[in-house]
Amino acid sequence: MSETFVLTNAEIVTAEQQFRGYVVVQDGRIAEIGDGRPPERGVDFNGDYLLPGLVELHTDHLEVHFMPRPKVEWPAVSAVLAHDAQVIGSGITTVFDALRVGNDYDDEKFGARMKKLADAIAEAKGQDLTRAEHFVHLRCEISCADVVEEMQPFLTDPQLKLVSVMDHTPGQRQFTDISKWKTYYAGKRGASEAEMNERILRRRAIHAQHADANRRAIVGLCQSHGVTLASHDDATLEHVEEAVADGMHIAEFPTTVEAAAASHAAGMKVLMGAPNVVRGGSHSGNVSARALAENGVLDVLSSDYVPTSLLMGAFALADVAAIGGMPGAIRLVSKNPADAAGLSDRGEIAIGKRADLIRVDAASGQPVMRAAWREGRRVS
């Protein structure tokens, strides 16, 4: 069905500029963009921001809804819909749901559970129940004996668009400081000091036995299936060189300025967590996202574990000179992640692009989501 509507008196942020004007949407696409008031009446934004719908590449927030307590599974489709409601309410119109295979702590298997979630995403989408568009991002923990086996069922899933190669072995990458690893898992698992010390020795032994072979296998499978690859927690130049050699396009959460700068120089999109921006630093004691922004080597923000942080983080970085004001800040959460994922049809307010749009009220100094459209359809 052909539908045309106008959004007017809006503070529009395109990929290059910010101005007061209007947007005409026709058949789910952006048909016209103009300064001032349009020739016909439309939805009056009263000066609120009109932004492109946000694109989220790495959120593991779905697991919170699927497993709200240890050993408790919620009905999978219901979990997807609860997650979807929070995602769209945060301004995210395209989301890559990060599902883990392999385990970074004990020998518990997650592959079958995560495949159940992926199937639930497909079921919800098939019934037109989701408001954001969902894809699957598979997080592969290479220091796990069975990770390649666990990822295999996902390779034929058309929802799979991104794979990150992770290694959370204590003593390197994110957890160079082992005390940070202990603090993190003491909070998650309630383990004693003795239990954690035993676990550290076990994780290191598994890493030594399996990590290199698993990495090679996962990279090969992704390349043969045309799936975009991301590195994770790179800390050194050697890590970056390995990622580049493996054909990775995205550098997730580099832990040092050195690694981020090298990744950026190599053409990889450097992704950092928006919670890092909002909180003022990394919860693991690694480099801050703001420091990377100030050094001109930050390309993408991810909400990671707090969906609302994506919009907050973008607004918070608009004052960084190297970012380039609101247009540059919004690119971090829209055009840049869309480009990194190969989604050329969305991510910016431009003629011909999908009308994935959000209305944001920032009069209080806090960005507040007021409405969202996906392909021209009001979804929030």
Q: Per mean pLDDT, which range of 50-59, 90-99, 110-119, 131-140 is the poorest?
A: 110-119
pLDDT at 16: 98
Same fold, 1-52+347-380 and 54-345: no
* Cα distance between the two ends of the chain: 20
Torsion angle, alpha carbons of 156, 160, 164, 169, to 10: -60
Residue 176, pLDDT above cutoff 50: yes
The CATH number for 54-345, chosen from 3.30.420.10, 3.40.50.150, 3.50.50.60, 3.20.20.140, is 3.20.20.140
The C-alpha atoms of residue 162 and residue 165 are separated, in whole angstroms, by 10
**How confident is the model at residue 186, as a pLDDT?**
60
Q: Is the pLDDT of residue 106 over 60?
A: no
**Domain 1-52+347-380 carries which CATH code?**
2.30.40.10
Q: Quote the CA–CA distance of 84 and 130 in Å, as a whole number.
A: 6
- Cα distances (Å, whole numbers) of residue 242 to 13, 166, 286, 290, 340: 37, 13, 21, 26, 19
Say which range, 78-82, 90-94, 172-176, has the weakest mean pLDDT: 172-176
Q: Which two tokens stand for residue 289?
A: 């996202």
- The pLDDT mean for the chain works out to 92
Percent of the chain scoring above 90 in pLDDT: 79
Q: Are 243 and 177 contacting, i.e. CB atoms less than 8 angstroms apart?
A: no
Mean pLDDT of 162-187: 72
Let me know if 52 is exposed, middle or buried by CB neighbors in 10 A (0-12, 13-18, 19+). Answer: buried
Structure tokens at 234: 């790179």
pTM, to two decimals: 0.92
Q: Angle 76-89/111-126 helices, nearest 10 degrees?
A: 70
Question: Can you give the residue ranges of every domain in the chain?
Answer: 1-52+347-380, 54-345
Q: What's the pLDDT score for residue 109?
A: 66
pLDDT at 202: 77
Angstrom distance (rounded) from CA 112 to CA 99:
11
Per-residue confidence band for 1, with pLDDT thresholds at 50, 70 and 90: very low
Determine contact, residues 164/231, Cβ cutoff 8 Å.
Answer: yes
Task: Dig out the tokens for 121 from the structure.
Answer: 């995403």
Q: Would the pLDDT of 107 be above 60? A: no
**Region 155-171: what's the mean pLDDT?**
91
Instruction: Assign 3-class secondary structure to the chain.
Output: CCCEEEEEEEEEECCCCEEEEEEEEECCEEEEEEECCCCCCCEECCCCEEEECEEEEEECCHHHHHCCECCECCCHHHHHHHHHHHHHHCCEEEEEEEEEECCCCCCCCCHHHHHHHHHHHHHHHHCCCCCCEEEEEEEEECCCCCHHHHHHHHCCCCCEEEEEEECCCCCCHHHCCHHHHHHHHHHHHCCCHHHHHHHHHHHHHHHHHHHHHHHHHHHHHHHHHCCEEEEECCCCHHHHHHHHHCCCCEEECCCCHHHHHHHHHCCCEEEEEHHHHHHCCCCCCCCCHHHHHHCCCCCEEECECCCCHHHHHHHHHCCCCCCCHHHHHHHCCCHHHHHHCCCCCCCCCCCCCECCEEEEECCCCCCEEEEEEECCEECC
- Is 327 exposed, middle or buried (CB count within 10 Å of its CB: 0-12, 13-18, 19+)? middle
pLDDT one-digit tens code per residue, 40-49: 889 999 999 9
Residue 168 has pLDDT above 90, yes or no: no
> pLDDT tens, 294-346?
999 999 999 999 999 999 999 999 999 999 999 999 999 999 999 999 999 99
Contact 311, 66 (CB under 8 A): no
pLDDT digits (tens, 9 = 90+) for 66-86: 999 888 999 999 999 999 999
